[in-house]
């Protein structure tokens, strides 16, 4: 049985998708830092698991 659709690899489309994803990820990171700054959150600690010495307390 033949496939109903042929999939064509197009380098231009692939590169365009990659650029769009990179731009969206960059935007997400920028917004994350903006929110952290507005809420006075240390971005380096945001989302980290508790350290071992903190778990025992």
In the chain, where are the structural domains located?
A: 11-40
Residue 6 has pLDDT above 70, yes or no: no
Average model confidence (pLDDT) for the chain?
75
**What pTM was computed for the model?**
0.48
Q: What is the pLDDT of residue 23?
A: 93
Tokens standing for residue 35: 């929110």
In angstroms, the CA 32 to CA 18 distance is: 21
In angstroms, the CA 37 to CA 5 distance is: 49
Q: What is the pLDDT of residue 12?
A: 73
The residue that leads in pLDDT, 12 or 23, is 23
Give the model confidence (pLDDT) of 21-45 as tens digits: 999 999 998 888 888 888 887 767 7
In angstroms, the CA 9 to CA 36 distance is: 40
Q: Is the dihedral of CA 3, 5, 6, 9 positive or negative?
A: negative
């Amino acid at each position: 049985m033949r496939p109903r659709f042929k999939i064509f690899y197009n380098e231009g489309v692939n590169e365009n998708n990659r650029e769009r994803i990179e731009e969206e990820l960059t935007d997400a990171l920028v917004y994350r830092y903006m929110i952290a700054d507005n809420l006075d959150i240390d971005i380096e600690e945001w989302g980290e698991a508790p350290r071992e010495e903190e778990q025992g307390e």
